[in-house]
Chains A and B, each alone.
Chain A
Amino acid sequence: MSIRSRTINPEEIEQERYPFRRVWPSIIAEMAALFGICAAVYFATRLLNIELTGVSLLAVEFALIAAPIVLWVIFSLMRERAADIPRSRLLIVMIVSLLAANAITVPLSNALFQTSAWLPHEASIQRIIGYAFTLGAAQAVTQYMVVYYTTYPRALRVRADTIAYFSTASVGYAAVLNLHFILDSGTILDVLALTVFANQAISLAMSFLLAFGLGEVRFASPTPFLMAVMAALSALVYGVITTLRSGLVNGGFSLAGGAASPLFGFVFTAVVLVAVGIVIAFFFRTAERREEEAALAQSP
């Protein structure tokens, strides 16, 4: 008598392999790593009182500024190469965004808007509006223009492409902001670490909104105002985050003294980035589902 064993597991269903690099995990990895690096530098400097000087300090400072780009290279660019269908314009977007920010937007907006001369002393609402219509709009439009003119429409094959390219543009733009920050203010290491993260986080949060807008324009047929509205929204996000973060960071007055609280700003930007990311990811997922349902409805 022979006994045949039977498995209770269902037979494997063969799925089609996703040919593109998954963008969200890369972004999460990049930002988590950056968060860890910046936090480590901050605590090492503040709590362990590690004080660097001279060349070693300079090296660490430039390493910090380079960290977002290095992480992007590791988690985005190199993994892109491993994908079946790589996004070929990532490097171009990065280079163009660096050049555009450094050569045009940052110097021009500083000269034109001179925000430091008037915005710090305005009330919160005015500051949010002020930043939204000046530095926020400049950054949003720059990111949009860089991605639009380097990728649109051919390089945008799936919705995730918009996230990939805009996040790349955001890394380029933030790198320029970080560079200007260290060159202009002669900052100390702990503050630099937190600022590098904050600049990257704000820039990335803005890019999420822009990516969603351009994705909709490319793959759906929304109202023609949508992209402009998303650009305005991302500028508003810049205004809100910058204003609230400054408020949290700025020291108060007491007879015992008043020190700034950069850690509050650090945590705040991280939380806002996560929140914006979740919302935009939800919208992306909803849009993709909508497209899938539409495709199913059209198929015979």
Chain B
Amino acid sequence: MTMSKDFESAVEGLAQGAAGSDAAAAGARTGPAADAASHASVPGLRARFGDAILHHEIVAGDEHVVYVQPEKIVEILGWLRDEPSERYDYLKDVTAVDYGGGRPLQVVYELWSIPYRRGLRVKAELPLDALEIDSVTPLWHAANWLEREVYDMFGIRFRGHPDLRRILMPDTYAEGHPLRKDFPLRGRFSRAEQTRRALSLGLEDVYFPEELEIGGVGYRPAGSASDGKGPGATEGGAA
């Protein structure tokens, strides 16, 4: 059965985990190069950026994927957004994929052009020892939280991000980045330790002090000294 053999080799690849980054690793780009003319944006991309466009393939029937050099990501996505013939003005999603086995991580940008009713998936591959890429928040504000989630789950750092911190896991989370293939499914700490840490979480571990401020009254952690006259109470009394 070829199918089960494929499955076994895939599981083997997973079991190897992130053994280290090999610059010569081919990544997960396995599909044959697609005809550039089959997507309206690819000839323009190739003409404008040349070698920075590494690969173009079609997956799942009609979904076009373009692999680009990570150094040029802001330049390329900015051109795709602003060029009158492209107008990819809607960033649907930013996410990442880890295929394991030491292969590079892929950062995935899902673009959609509202004027032309056209979609394009742009991927950039990052070797495991250099997980850094420029942030696209200057192009789309929507990328802010999406890139925070990628940072939280995969540990990819976004250069120039205005507020790069964890978004789902607490700031004090010390077990790593959960969606990486080398992350054990049940976490790194024991269940008792995870329970203890979870219950000792305070509001200040999840939120900024400014986010906890209500009506000018600052947040005061439990157990801190309180005279019942916070700044808000004084202001309220004066008014």
Q: Do A and B come from one complex?
A: no
Residues of A within 8 A of B (CB): none
